[in-house]
Structure 1
């Protein structure tokens, strides 16, 4: 943080923002409570309530974040300037080791920002369980079937466009808040201080309410992600075991596996957190692994587009262009992440 910023906000506030609170003593207790409760709800199949409740909470927090960014613009100290945006959009990275770390962080977050690799894998499960394929009906080489299929493909396109608008707005708003508050203050969210440090992004607008608001929002976002991710991973692993011939492929056996795995995954997450209590690093590691998965998903999408899709259902040229651009971006991000990680390992 520059001297000019310190002069503007005052020495007392400068020291307050730079203060590092001591590590909490109850984080593992709360982690255990949440993990056990989630395990029980997933085993019992309490999906509908969590789906609507988490949607409401996440939507509310997203709105609060956008309002926070808007109100921040009237603050003479913390507002985002056009010069800041122009500087941030320049293709520059810090020199040396710091630059490599910045690139790795960017690639890791690329894997989880917006619709990440895991969401791309899980979305077909969501479509199946919501009945997209059921409403289309069994395949028939007939105009009426293709018409129904086109209708549900249009629904999926609305899903894609809607999610893109939402996650782009939320990501840009959160990034600008982080650059304006955390970047200028020199705060780096680390380890046990992650949530408390991030909550400072809401202090200039909401004051003493900032911590409460951010705790509410972070719980909504993180817990809904935790809940859905565990349920999703259970479905993917269950299918994997069936495809590899390591488990029965009947519907009844699959349903039992999903319930058991759904109950198991939250406990596994708890064990990992207790063993490695560094949430920021764990998030970035997960993002990096997802970034490496992206080229595989791009290849699968191209395979289904050109090999498995019936001719009447094939998209137009514009969608093909978007598909190839996405595949190229995924290949670059995943390949670069893998190369940098190998270099770090060999260094």
Structure 2
């Protein structure tokens, strides 16, 4: 067979197995119960890998260092309140086989081919260049301290070289964009940093930086200290499921096969049964990821509050990594500094591992809505995704080398994410009303939680916007 014929056959196979194409051939009965569902979980691991990274290691720890235990309640609230919106968007996605930006584009009014929500998404994506640049910079800083190249660890030459290595390495590892590889890598990274971080946080009571139950209780008093509003808002936007994670979770639910196994909606009772079954699997996946990133977030916050705050150490600029390493060296000894740096590479690297393929898919989806390509053209979609897989790490790395302030860069992205959450809530309710089959709606308790979550996100989103405009 000729090379061109091989390529045609390969494209045919890809199209046949394309999770974004709903056919009767892809239908599969859903598993029942946790034991049978475990092998079908996975999108939440990618979500957790993204979440327990820049937000937790940088923003949450910095917040704990700034205000002590006072905002512990906000950490818990931030991770919990957005889950219902995440699930509702994924419910629509699984029942229709469509990814988030396709749904966003159905909410008018439009400017040209794009809805106002997708235009707002594009603005958020620009701010996220800074946030992801901060993540690339964090990995490069940790590697430069571990193994300086051509100069001192904090010197421009070594940091620049490591930034290039991190960007190029991300491209090499993720270029294939195979779902199975992305899920497996995310799972390994999540297990490593979860055990390390939670273990150290639980071990703090046996060190000179012990915290008490009174400290924990003081952090649950539902108050925001003066001067901490901006940091709290950034944390709400970036910790837990942010607007970007809410959005890209839909792509991974589809690529795991949930929508394909449900099949096209023929209105039958069998379709309804399959849809409810696979949505139930998604519930389990979302719950597992919530447990992982909630405990990871609390652990980072407690370390910042218990170790850094009493010493007046607040991570800033390129000294972020060395300041954060104090959480480990001050509790376990100097040897733990190396362990922390390796941990920082794993934690921030996990964010890159999840973010590069996730953002690549979202950018390509936006181009499809603009008419640049046909989203269901499997070969064209993969080609464009790989183009962004190459471009994004290079752009993010360049952004860091230009700005060189990881904490500020990540906080800017967090504020933009908080504002965009407003638009996501509008889209979720629109799609629920116009496209989600009413037979698939959640229980009364879930619907009540969805209302509460939506109101909380809207109020905090409005406050975020007014704060950004210096109106409050």
Q: CA deviation at 1:293?
A: 0.9
The equivalent position to 1:327 in structure 2, one of 454, 464, 469, is 454
In the alignment, the residues of structure 1 paired with residue 326 and residue 188 of structure 2 have an alpha-carbon distance, to the nearest angstrom, of 23
After superposition, the Cα gap between the structure-2 partners of 1:252 and 1:49, relative to the gap in structure 1 and judged at 3 Å, is closer
Q: How does the TM-score come out when normalised to structure 1? A: 0.86
Q: Is the 8 A contact 2:179 2:256 kept in 1?
A: no
Aligned to 2:205: 73
Q: Is the 8 A contact 1:32 1:270 kept in 2?
A: yes
In the alignment, the residues of structure 1 paired with residue 190 and residue 340 of structure 2 have an alpha-carbon distance, to the nearest angstrom, of 12
Q: After alignment, is 48-57 or 26-35 more displaced?
A: 48-57
Q: How does the TM-score come out when normalised to structure 2? A: 0.64
Q: CA deviation at 1:129?
A: 0.9
Q: Confirm or deny that 1:42 pairs with 2:169.
A: no
Aligned to 1:16: none
Aligned to 2:287: 161
Aligned to 1:206: 332
Q: CA deviation at 1:185?
A: 0.8
Q: CA deviation at 1:55?
A: 2.2
In the alignment, the residues of structure 1 paired with residue 245 and residue 181 of structure 2 have an alpha-carbon distance, to the nearest angstrom, of 20
Q: Superposed, which structure 2 residues align to 1:87-102 within 5 Å?
A: 87-95=218-226, 99=227, 102=228
Q: Is the 8 A contact 2:177 2:357 kept in 1?
A: no
Residue by residue over 1:251-307, the C-alpha shift from the partner in whole angstroms, topping out at 9 and shown as x without a partner, is 322221111111111111011011111111111011111111111111112222232
In the alignment, the residues of structure 1 paired with residue 280 and residue 315 of structure 2 have an alpha-carbon distance, to the nearest angstrom, of 41
Q: Confirm or deny that 1:190 pairs with 2:316.
A: yes
Aligned to 2:416: 289
Q: Is the 8 A contact 2:164 2:397 kept in 1?
A: yes
Q: Is the 8 A contact 1:291 1:337 kept in 2?
A: yes
Q: Is the 8 A contact 1:65 1:174 kept in 2?
A: yes
Root-mean-square deviation (Å) = 2.1
SS of the equivalent of 1:320 reads helix
Q: Is the 8 A contact 2:179 2:255 kept in 1?
A: no
Aligned to 1:84: 215
Q: Structure with the greater relative contact order (CA < 8 A, sep ≥ 6): 1 or 2?
A: 2
Q: Is the 8 A contact 1:58 1:217 kept in 2?
A: no
In the alignment, the residues of structure 2 paired with residue 278 and residue 174 of structure 1 have an alpha-carbon distance, to the nearest angstrom, of 20
In the alignment, the residues of structure 2 paired with residue 231 and residue 22 of structure 1 have an alpha-carbon distance, to the nearest angstrom, of 30
Residue by residue over 1:47-67, the C-alpha shift from the partner in whole angstroms, topping out at 9 and shown as x without a partner, is 644542342233222112222
Q: Is the 8 A contact 1:79 1:180 kept in 2?
A: yes
Q: CA deviation at 1:310?
A: 1.1
Count of matched residue pairs: 320
In the alignment, the residues of structure 2 paired with residue 44 and residue 52 of structure 1 have an alpha-carbon distance, to the nearest angstrom, of 14
Q: Confirm or deny that 1:311 pairs with 2:438.
A: yes
In the alignment, the residues of structure 1 paired with residue 155 and residue 186 of structure 2 have an alpha-carbon distance, to the nearest angstrom, of 26
In the alignment, the residues of structure 2 paired with residue 262 and residue 192 of structure 1 have an alpha-carbon distance, to the nearest angstrom, of 26
Aligned to 1:55: 187
Q: Confirm or deny that 1:228 pairs with 2:354.
A: yes
Aligned to 1:12: none
In the alignment, the residues of structure 2 paired with residue 240 and residue 23 of structure 1 have an alpha-carbon distance, to the nearest angstrom, of 38
Q: CA deviation at 1:45?
A: 3.3
Q: Is the 8 A contact 1:192 1:278 kept in 2?
A: yes
Q: Confirm or deny that 1:132 pairs with 2:132.
A: no
